[in-house]
C-alpha cells in the first residue's frame, strides 16, 4: 500500500566552520521515516539533531549525501521547488516565545503559510485557521489576539496549528516540548498524537528526553557527535539498548522512582576516561570511545559501521553484542580516593572541542 519511505536520509554530511575549525555536525547519517510513522531522533548537545532537523527543512546547506522526500531530492531545491516542498513538510520549533511574530495576530500568523504557498483566498484561509485552532484545543476567537496573550503551552499549540495549515505529510518537532512544564508537555503530546491519528502524517520527533521519545515514537535513532549509534524499534532500543551510549543515556536519565534510582547508584558502573591524546590523530574512531566503559583499542582506530541488531534495528559498535556481558573498567576518580560508585560517573576530561558558546541543548 505505501510506496516506500516518506523521508530518506542517506549518508548525509553537514559541516560548518567554527572560527578556524571545521566541525562535522552530521557525519554520514542514514535513516528513514515511513508514512504515518513517528521516528525519534535522540541525542544530547553536540549530537547534531537540531542541525539535521534544520537541514531536512532546507534551512541549512548540506555538504554531501541525500535527503529524499517521497523519492525526490530535497537537499538542493530551487526557491519555487522548496516552496512546494513546504506544503509537504513543516516544523515546530522548541521555543514558544520566539517562534511567533509578536506584532501579528494569531490569524495572520496562521494564514501566512497558505498565503505564501499560493492559496491566497483570504476567507478560506481564515476558515482553515479557525478550524486548526479548534483542532489544537484553542478557542476560535484566539484568531484576533496576539501571541503575548498566551502562555507557553498555548503558543506551542499555535505553532503546531501553523505547521498543520498546509496539510503536510511530515512534521519535524524540534524539541517541541522541551521548554514546557510537565503538565503542559503532557497536553501537547496528546495533541500531537490526536493529530496524527486523525491525519496519518509522520513525525520526526527530535528530543533529548528518552522517556518522551519512548512514549511517542515507533522507532528511535540515537545520535552522538553527528553519527548514528543505534536505531530500531523504540521499545527494544529503550528496553535492551544495543549500544553502550544508549545504555548510558538511559541509565543517566533519572526516573521518578527513588528506589530505582538508589539501585542505579549502587550498581557498580564506573569508567575510565581515555585521554584524548591516545587517539591516533587523523584516524577515524568511534566518537563515543573516549567515554565508553567497554572501549578496546579497535574502537580508537576504526569507526564502527552500522550492523543489524535485534528486532530489525541497527547498531554501530565494534563490541556488539558482547559488551553487555563484558567487564567494565574499574572506577577511577580524580580526587584519588575511593568513590561511591555511581551510574555513569565519567571522569570529565578537559576536551578542547567541547567549548560551546550557546546553550547546552542547541546544535
Partner 1 sequence: MSALVPLIAERPRGSSGLRPSVHLWLRRPVAVCATAFLAVLVVVSVAAPLFAPYNPEAQDLTRVLSGPSTHNLLGTDTLGRDVLSRLIYGGRRSLLSIVEGLVVVMLLGIPLGLAAGYLGGWTDRVLSRVGEMVMAIPAIVLILVVLAAVPHNEDVAMLTFGVLGTPTVMRVVRGATLQVRRDLYIQAARVSGLTHLRIVTRHILPRVTGPVIVQASLFSAYALLFETGIAYLGLTGNPEAPTWGGMIAEASTVIEQQSWLLVPPGALVALTILALGLLGNGIRDVAVVDDVATRPRRAALRASTALKSAQVDHRDVRPDRLIVVSDLEVVLRNRGGTTPIVAGVSFDIRHGETVGLVGESGCGKSVTALALLRLLPNGLETTAGRALWEGRDILGMPEGEFNDLRGCTFAYVSQDAQASLDPTFTVSSQLSEAIRHHERLSRRAAKERALELLRLVEFSEPQRVARARANELSGGMAQRVAIALALSGHPRLLIADEPTTALDVTVQAEILALLRRLQSETGMSLLLITHNWGVVADICDRTLVMYAGQVVEQSPAQSMFDLPLHPYTRGLLQSHPSLAVAHSHLKTIPGNVPSPGSWPDGCRFAPRCPYVAAKCRADEIPLLAAQSDRDTRCIRVGEILAEVTSA
Residues 138-197 that bind partner 1 (CB under 8 A): 145-149, 151-154, 159, 162, 181-187, 189-190, 193
86 CB contacts (<8 Å, ≥6 apart)?
57, 113, 117, 166, 168
Q: Which three cell numbers stand for residue 348?
A: 570529565
Rounded Cα–Cα distance for residues 297 and 343 (Å):
24
- Residue 291 C-beta: closest distance to partner 1, Å: 8
Q: Does 86 bind partner 1 (CB under 8 A)?
A: yes
Please give the backbone phi and psi of residue 144, each rounded to the nearest 5 degrees, phi first: -95, 5
Q: Which is nearer to partner 1, 11 or 83 (CB)?
A: 83
Q: Which is nearer to partner 1, 30 or 179 (CB)?
A: 179
**The one among 23, 125, 132, 234 contacting partner 1 by CB under 8 A:** 234
Degrees to nearest 5, angle at CA 347 with 345 and 350? 145
Q: Does 277 bind partner 1 (CB under 8 A)?
A: no
Per CB under 8 A, contacts with partner 1 among 337-356 are 339-340, 342-351, 354-356
On whether the CB atoms of residues 213 and 207 are closer than 8 A, the answer is yes
Q: Which is nearer to partner 1, 261 or 307 (CB)?
A: 261
Q: Does 45 bind partner 1 (CB under 8 A)?
A: yes
Residue in 40, 39, 36, 35 with CA at minimum distance from that of residue 71:
35
Q: Which three cell numbers stand for residue 131?
A: 478550524
Q: Which three cell numbers stand for residue 20?
A: 578556524
Interface size with partner 1, residues (CB under 8 A): 96
Q: Which is nearer to partner 1, 40 or 304 (CB)?
A: 40
b or e along 46-83 (b: 16 or more beta carbons within 10 Å of the residue's beta carbon)? bbbbbbbbbbbbbebebbebebbbbeeebbebeeeeee
On whether the CB atoms of residues 229 and 246 are closer than 8 A, the answer is yes
Query: Using omega within 30 degrees of 0 as the cis cutoff, is the peptide bond preceding 143 cis?
Result: no
- Residue 117 C-beta: closest distance to partner 1, Å: 5
**The one among 209, 236, 279, 302 contacting partner 1 by CB under 8 A:** 209
Per CB under 8 A, contacts with partner 1 among 241-260 are 248-249, 251-260
- Residue 242 C-beta: closest distance to partner 1, Å: 18
Only segment of 12-20, 62-70, 108-116, 295-303 that touches partner 1 (CB under 8 A)? 108-116
Rounded Cα–Cα distance for residues 320 and 310 (Å):
11
Alpha-carbon Rg for the chain, nearest whole angstrom, is 22
- Chain centroid to CA 20: how far? 27
Q: Does 77 bind partner 1 (CB under 8 A)?
A: no
Q: Which is nearer to partner 1, 30 or 60 (CB)?
A: 60
Q: Which is nearer to partner 1, 4 or 78 (CB)?
A: 78
Q: Does 232 bind partner 1 (CB under 8 A)?
A: no
Q: Does 208 bind partner 1 (CB under 8 A)?
A: yes
Q: Which is nearer to partner 1, 115 or 302 (CB)?
A: 115
b or e along 213-222 (b: 16 or more beta carbons within 10 Å of the residue's beta carbon)? bbebbbbbbb
Q: Which is nearer to partner 1, 98 or 167 (CB)?
A: 98
Per CB under 8 A, contacts with partner 1 among 110-129 are 112-113, 116-117
Q: Which is nearer to partner 1, 158 or 316 (CB)?
A: 158
Per CB under 8 A, contacts with partner 1 among 290-329 are none
Helix (H) or strand (E) holding 131: helix 122-135
Q: Which is nearer to partner 1, 283 or 351 (CB)?
A: 351
Q: Does 261 bind partner 1 (CB under 8 A)?
A: yes
**The one among 11, 82, 298, 324 contacting partner 1 by CB under 8 A:** 82
Q: What sections of the chain are H helices per DSSP?
A: 49-56, 79-85, 106-116, 122-135, 152-164, 182-199, 210-216, 234-239, 244-252, 258-266, 297-301
**The one among 14, 75, 212, 221 contacting partner 1 by CB under 8 A:** 212
Please give the biggest Cα pair distance in the chain.
72
Amino acid at each position: 500500500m505505501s510506496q516506500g519511505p516518506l523521508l530518506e536520509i542517506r549518508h548525509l554530511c553537514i559541516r560548518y566552520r567554527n572560527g578556524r575549525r571545521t566541525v562535522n555536525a552530521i557525519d554520514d547519517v542514514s535513516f528513514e521515516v515511513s508514512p504515518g510513522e513517528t521516528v525519534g531522533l535522540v541525542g544530547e548537545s553536540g549530537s547534531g539533531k537540531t542541525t539535521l532537523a534544520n537541514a531536512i527543512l532546507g534551512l541549512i546547506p548540506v555538504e554531501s549525501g541525500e535527503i529524499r522526500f517521497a523519492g525526490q531530492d530535497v537537499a538542493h531545491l530551487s526557491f519555487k521547488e522548496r516552496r512546494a516542498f513546504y506544503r509537504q513538510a513543516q516544523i515546530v520549533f522548541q521555543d514558544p516565545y520566539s517562534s511567533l511574530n509578536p506584532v501579528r495576530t494569531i490569524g495572520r500568523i496562521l494564514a501566512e503559510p497558505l498565503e505564501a504557498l499560493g492559496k491566497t483566498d483570504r476567507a478560506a484561509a481564515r476558515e482553515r485557521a479557525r478550524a486548526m485552532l479548534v483542532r489544537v484545543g484553542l478557542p476560535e476567537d484566539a484568531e484576533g489576539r496576539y501571541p503575548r496573550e498566551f502562555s507557553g503551552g498555548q503558543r506551542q499549540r499555535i505553532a503546531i496549528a501553523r505547521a498543520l495549515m498546509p496539510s503536510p505529510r511530515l512534521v519535524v518537532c524540534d524539541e517541541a516540548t522541551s521548554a514546557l512544564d510537565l503538565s503542559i508537555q503532557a497536553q501537547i503530546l496528546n495533541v500531537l498524537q490526536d493529530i496524527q491519528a486523525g491525519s496519518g502524517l509522520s513525525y520526526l520527533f527530535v528530543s533529548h528526553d528518552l522517556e518522551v521519545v519512548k512514549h511517542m515514537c515507533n522507532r528511535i535513532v540515537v545520535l552522538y557527535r553527528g553519527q548514528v549509534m543505534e536505531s530500531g524499534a523504540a521499545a527494544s532500543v529503550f528496553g535492551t539498548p544495543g549500544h553502550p551510549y544508549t545504555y548510558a543515556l538511559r541509565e543517566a536519565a533519572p526516573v521518578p522512582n527513588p528506589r530505582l534510582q538508589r539501585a542505579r547508584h549502587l550498581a557498580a558502573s564506573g569508567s575510565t576516561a581515555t585521554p584524548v591524546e591516545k587517539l591516533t590523530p587523523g584516524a577515524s574512531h568511534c566518537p563515543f570511545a573516549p567515554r565508553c566503559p567497554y572501549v578496546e583499542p579497535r574502537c580508537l582506530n576504526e569507526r564502527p559501521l552500522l550492523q543489524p541488531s535485534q528486532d530489525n534495528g541497527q547498531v554501530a559498535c565494534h563490541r556488539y553484542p558482547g559488551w553487555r556481558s563484558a567487564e567494565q573498567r574499574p572506577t577511577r576518580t580524580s580526587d584519588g580516593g575511593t568513590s561511591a560508585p555511581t551510574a555513569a560517573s565519567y571522569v570529565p576530561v578537559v576536551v578542547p572541542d567541547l567549548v560551546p558558546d550557546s546553550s547546552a541543548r542547541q546544535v
